[in-house]
Chain A
Amino acid sequence: MKRFFFLLLALISAGLFVRVAYLVLASPPDPAFNAPNHEAIVDHLNHLFRQAAYSITWAIQLGYLAWLGLKWRAEKQMDGRRKN
């Protein structure tokens, strides 16, 4: 059950990394200053990059938590085996 939880965290983390890559790589180029909808595109780009920053924060934190959980489980199992 715990292993499933940590694997789920790792999966969410991987998903967030993919999302960040998509948000950054698929974002439209910076608009020209005289473009008619310049402000709207800049706002949209700011929104995408803010989302990317928040997503990568959670991707790193949850990825680390998943790794730590799996490591903790492995240490416990090793200790249990040694005791037996």
Chain B
Amino acid sequence: MKKTAIGLYAAIVVALLAWGYYQAIYVAPEDAMQGEIFRIIYYHVPSFATCFFCFAVSLAGSIGFLAFRRSQPDRAQMADAWALAGAEIGVVFCTVGLTTGPLWARRAWGMWWTWDARLTTTLVLWLIYVSYLLLRRFAAGPQMQTLAAVLGIFGAIDVPIVYMANRWWRTQHPAPVFGGGDNSGMDPTMVGALMWNLLAWFLWGILILILRYRVERQHQKVAEREAQEALRA
């Protein structure tokens, strides 16, 4: 039943991704100033939106782990699995954003990268969560999960800074498209294409988040069984 539900959900997500692609390439009009390169926005913005959501899941999981680690160990392990899954999928989406952005910048600005506030804080965010994953991969001992949870919470502080960077400071990065004041906004056809892609990539993110969570829970169960066998021996 669970497998069928996930399979059905995956099929809907794939259909939505195909629809989002069609909207981005064939329905949305070409930008008058930037031409076709503007269409990168339909993958770039949804990637960062999903990335922020995943880091929020990681934050909630990290807080949950710290809250339950002494009183309810099983719940703490579940929270830890969500924290890891959120951080990992967040890094995947952040990597997509950090590669599609420079491809756009090369054509729009004539350079791959600039050390402005939005780009730099995003790179710092990516580095923090990559270090989180490295800590999870290579550190050992009973304190590893606690240290990772603290780092996960620390890393999440950068998310609102990234979001606000081009509102607080004057940046090379374009001003916010939505909620950026009187001069922000898009053509309704472009908004439609962006929203479809936002929905599709967000649902895709949730799909791989759930799959990653299940893999981590499986890993935890195997590790727990191994520990119990070792104690018995």
Q: Report A's interface with B, CB cutoff 8 A.
A: 24, 30, 42-43, 45-47, 49-50, 52-54, 56-57, 60-61, 64-65, 68, 71-72, 75-76, 78-79, 82
Give every chain B residue within 8 A of A65 (Cβ-Cβ): 208
Residue of A nearest to B220 (CB): A75
B225 touches A82 (CB 8 A): yes
Q: Which residue of A30, A47, A75 is within 8 Å of B36 (Cβ)?
A: A47
A-B contact pairs, 9 of them (CB 8 A): A46-B34, A47-B36, A53-B104, A56-B100, A61-B204, A72-B218, A79-B221, A79-B222, A82-B222
Q: B74 at interface (Cβ–Cβ under 8 A)?
A: no
Chain B residue total in the interface (Cβ 8 A): 33
Interface string of B98-122 (1 = CB under 8 A from A): 0110011011001000000000000
A56 touches B39 (CB 8 A): no
Give every chain A residue within 8 A of B44 (Cβ-Cβ): 53
A61 touches B39 (CB 8 A): no
B227–chain A nearest beta-carbon distance, Å: 12
* Contacts A53-B100, A72-B211 supplied; 9 other A-B pairs, CB < 8 Å: A30-B110, A43-B36, A46-B37, A47-B36, A49-B107, A53-B43, A57-B47, A57-B99, A79-B225
Give every chain B residue within 8 A of A82 (Cβ-Cβ): 222, 225-226, 229
A47–chain B nearest beta-carbon distance, Å: 5
B219 touches A75 (CB 8 A): yes
Q: B40 at interface (Cβ–Cβ under 8 A)?
A: yes
B96 touches A61 (CB 8 A): yes
Give every chain B residue within 8 A of A43 (Cβ-Cβ): 35-36
Q: Report B's interface with A, CB cutoff 8 A.
A: 21, 34-37, 39-40, 43-44, 47, 92, 95-96, 99-100, 103-104, 106-107, 110, 204, 208, 211-212, 214-215, 218-219, 221-222, 225-226, 229
A46, A47, A75, A76 interface centre (most CB from chain B within 10 Å) = A46
A49, A65, A78 interface centre (most CB from chain B within 10 Å) = A49
Residue of A nearest to B225 (CB): A82
- The dominant DSSP class at the A interface is helix
Q: Which residue of B110, B215, B226 is within 8 Å of A75 (Cβ)?
A: B215
A49 touches B96 (CB 8 A): no
B39–chain A nearest beta-carbon distance, Å: 5
Give every chain A residue within 8 A of B218 (Cβ-Cβ): 72, 75-76, 79
B215 touches A57 (CB 8 A): no
Give every chain B residue within 8 A of A68 (Cβ-Cβ): 208, 211-212, 215
B92 touches A53 (CB 8 A): no
